[in-house]
Structure 1
Amino acid sequence: MLVASILKLFYWFGARYDLPLLIQAGIMVLVQTVLLHVALLNRPPIGAQHSLTQPFAGASEKTPLPTPRPFNFWQWRARKPYWHFLLGYAGVLVALQVLVGSGPFYTALQGYVALSVEATLPLPQIWENHRSKSCRGFRLSVLANWIVGDAFKMTYFFLAGGTKVPWAFKMCGLFQAMCDAYLGVQYWMYGDGSRAASDAEKDGRVA
């Protein structure tokens, strides 16, 4: 979300989309920065909670991720690399804005990249639910908020008069809404995991 929201801020200079969308992107950068700071301060120590749910699990631990990321991207144990990356990322975007920021192709690329990153955020959750045949740990209240938010967003994008919303927002917003709707289908199919646990317990008794 930080990568997408920072890029959306730069996208505004070329697209000049509606001010509420710009304010939303700025608030998102602020909130996600605070959340990253809190997460980095409260990470479990190395070796604790040997599971894939351990946040920021580095490749040097006993239980690394199945597919290590190049340069351990966003899996660093030290705090400074996260801030160094974000500052470097913003610096590169500033340089590109000065050099080619006025070009229509670059402006469109900014929008579609930023909003595609944001729109694909539900995909890991969809895959995990499909793999485990369960929505355990995924709160129904979160899903409901996402779907309600999508409804308001689509109404604003397509039905509000006098707004300037580029097609990048509309297309990526539609894709994200479909992903959230499918998460709702998965929750209806799999439940919160209690059903699978009950079936496993019955199978154990039969055996």
Structure 2
Amino acid sequence: MDAEVVLQEEDSWSLLSLMASCLMVFGGALPYVPQYQDIQRSSNSEGFSTRVCLVLLIANILRIFFWIGKQFEITLLLQSVVVIFTMFAMLHLCCTVQNTNRVSTKQHRLSDLDFRYFWKWSAFEDYLLFCFGFTVLCAVITLLLLDSALFVETLGSLAVMFEAMLGFPQLLQNFHNRSTKGMSVKMVLLWTAGDVFKTTYFVMNESPTQFCVCGSVQIVIDVAILLQVLLYSQDTRVKLG
């Protein structure tokens, strides 16, 4: 009987572990599904910043090369692949919508080499080309310095630093505007819960230190944004009163 109980507990733990891994792989893409549907429905992409795609693409491309130098859970590698495809899907939709709504015939292309329009190109192919060039550059450097433990650890730190600071521009924007219009406590709590789950997963699976630091920084930023929502919404009620 004891053996059966142990086997049942092991099966239950394996199932929970599998569910947690699946959530880690696809969880990063899920928040963008309603946003994708909203842009598609409204044919308006102004509420979505493609800079988010830039940050997440760089972070996850670097994370893949970090995995090459220091193998960690395959779950985190698959997560990066899913996020990259998700960001390309968002960019493709934004380009399609913007080109449909564009009044001017002026096109901004990567080949123009105009830094003013960096990451504001008209064609989806330019985003693909930029990411391809960035990936090739990373591949060459990684190939040359793969034997350097310092390089590999630095690569991992850069990858998670980009990801960890994703919410920082929102924090600064809220502070500058003294407003969190369009944000709700429920939304920020969902962000925080997701980052707490992610960080707990990193710790329990003994992921590289960089991942744990990344999760911790994201939780701190989430809590700071939550405090802003509570503070600024209270200020608004006082003014209205």
TM-score, normalised with respect to structure 2:
0.66
Displacement of 1:95 after TM fit?
Answer: 1.4
Q: Which residue number in structure 2 is paired with residue 13 of structure 1? A: 68
Count of aligned pairs = 176
- 1:173 is matched by which residue type in structure 2? G
1:35 is the counterpart of 2:80: no
Displacement of 1:110 after TM fit?
Answer: 1.1
1:186 is the counterpart of 2:228: yes
Q: Which residue number in structure 1 is paired with residue 124 of structure 2? A: 79
Q: Which residue number in structure 1 is paired with residue 215 of structure 2? A: 173
* Counterpart Cα distance in 1 of 2:67 and 2:103: 41
Q: Is the 8 A contact 2:188 2:225 kept in 1?
A: yes
- 2:161 is matched by which residue type in structure 1? S
Q: Which residue number in structure 1 is paired with residue 200 of structure 2? A: 155
| SS of structure 1 residue aligned to 2:102 | coil
Deviations 1:37-70 (A, max 9, x none): 11111124267xxxxxxxxxx8xxxxxxxxxx94
* Counterpart Cα distance in 2 of 1:86 and 1:98: 18
| Identity percentage of aligned residues | 26
| SS of structure 1 residue aligned to 2:122 | coil
Q: Which residue number in structure 2 is paired with residue 4 of structure 1? A: 59
Q: Which residue number in structure 2 is paired with residue 101 of structure 1? A: 146
Q: Is the 8 A contact 1:147 1:177 kept in 2?
A: yes
Task: Give the 3 Å change call, closer, same or farther, for CA 184–42 of structure 1 in structure 2.
Answer: same
Asked which structure has the greater RCO (Cα within 8 Å, sep 6+), the reply is: 1
- 2:218 is matched by which residue type in structure 1? Q
Q: Is the 8 A contact 1:17 1:164 kept in 2?
A: no
* Counterpart Cα distance in 1 of 2:142 and 2:153: 13
Deviations 1:99-154 (A, max 9, x none): 22232111111111110001111111111111111111234443222101111122
Q: Is the 8 A contact 2:199 2:211 kept in 1?
A: no
Q: Which residue number in structure 2 is paired with residue 205 of structure 1? A: none
Displacement of 1:166 after TM fit?
Answer: 0.9
* Counterpart Cα distance in 1 of 2:187 and 2:91: 19
- 1:45 is matched by which residue type in structure 2? R
Q: Is the 8 A contact 2:196 2:215 kept in 1?
A: no
- In structure 1, list runs of 5 or more residues that go unmatched: 48-57, 59-68, 203-207
- 1:166 is matched by which residue type in structure 2? P
| SS of structure 2 residue aligned to 1:191 | helix
The structure where helix makes up a greater share of residues is: 2
| SS of structure 1 residue aligned to 2:225 | helix
- In structure 2, list runs of 5 or more residues that go unmatched: 1-55, 109-113
Q: Please report the RMSD computed on the Cα atoms of aligned residues, expressed in angstroms.
A: 2.4
- 2:223 is matched by which residue type in structure 1? A
Q: Is the 8 A contact 2:63 2:80 kept in 1?
A: yes
Displacement of 1:79 after TM fit?
Answer: 3.4
Q: Which residue number in structure 2 is paired with residue 45 of structure 1? A: 102
Q: Is the 8 A contact 1:136 1:192 kept in 2?
A: no
Displacement of 1:97 after TM fit?
Answer: 2.4
After TM superposition, what 4+ stretches of structure 1 lie above 3 angstroms from structure 2? 77-80, 139-142
